[in-house]
Structures are given as structure tokens and as C-alpha cells.
Amino acid sequence: MNILHNQWELGEEESKTTGPWCAYYLLFDILSKSERMIIKKVDNKVIGFCAYEKRDSKKFLVKKKFYKFLKSLIVKGPFIKDKKAFARYNELYDKIESKFDNKYDGDIIIFIVDKKYQGNGYGSELLKMIFNLARKDNMKKLKIVTDDDCNYKYYERLGFKKIYEEPIYFDKAKTEKEEQFIYEVNLKEGE
């Protein structure tokens, strides 16, 4: 959770939220959707993780509902100060992603490595492990949504193909902009 809070803004500024509450929200969102998650530790410290969501899965429904409930408590509670701004922030990300839902077996819903540990092969290791799990789950094609705050060119080096790009604006005046990208990867046997 600290990795999420320390590396990504996650709508904290827009929602006037202090502390890790937006990171908790994202973590519970991930856990409410994920089929499988791989966690990478170095010296007993979590330095990264990756998870996928399988389209129309019926697995782990109780777990998924529990985390969805926890996610709702964060939004309903006093933690998120500007709830409308937070909802708008999350809708911006969901909107682009939903355009391509039916073309894929699922999504890589989180992929993050602590900045201090990047460049050591941990990210590639996480993705290889998650790809193997997805293959075992009969998945052939995955997508990932990323933005220009992340090292999105990394996906291209790993064989992902950029299929969509769109700017999103966080304010009505359209001065606060971020580019969003959707990448796809075909999971072939033996890779």
C-alpha cells in the first residue's frame, strides 16, 4: 500500500485527501477485481506487485464483495474530503478502460515496482509470473491502461502493443492534462 501512496497521486489533490486513503481505495479496488496477484519481496519488504482480472469470472466472489464493501466505506467515511472530485477522477480512468472491455480476456489491473528497485528485472519477473498464471487460467489476450506519469515505453520493450491513446483532463478549463494509453499483449505458449 505504501508503494501506491508514495509513487502515485491517485486523486489525493483533486479530492483534498490527506494520508493514504486514496491508496487504500485503489488497493481495495484491485482486490475486489483480481483473480490472481503476485507480490515481490526483497529482504522481506514488498517492492512490487502485479495482478490480473479475468472477464466474467465467478471465482473468489465472497472475497471480491468484501473488498468492494471496504472500498465503499472509504468513500462514505470522512477520509475523502471532496467526494465528487474523487468520483470524477476515478470515472476518467474507468471511461477509457471500458471502451475495450469485450476485446480481451482480462486486464492487468495493477503493475507497480517501487522506484528504488526499478531497473533490476523485478518488473519483468512479475509480468512473466502473471502471464504464466493467466495462461493457466486460459487467457489469451490482456490489456493494461497506463498514463504518461508511468514508464509506459517499458511495455513496448516487453512486446506490448499500444492500441489507444487519449488525453484526460482533470479540470473543466482543460489545463490539467494527462495522456492515457491502452496496451495489449497476446499470451503465447512458452513466452
pLDDT digits (tens, 9 = 90+) for 119-148: 999 999 999 999 999 999 999 999 998 888
Domains of the chain (ranges; CATH) run: 2-186 (3.40.630.30)
pLDDT digits (tens, 9 = 90+) for 9-52: 888 888 889 889 988 999 999 999 999 999 999 999 999 999 99
Query: Max CA-CA distance within the chain?
Result: 49
Sheet holding 141-147, edge to edge: 36-42, 45-54, 106-113, 141-147, 177-186, 161-169
pTM of the shown model: 0.85
Model confidence at 154: pLDDT above 70: yes
- Region 58-81: mean pLDDT is 90
Q: What is the pLDDT of residue 53?
A: 92
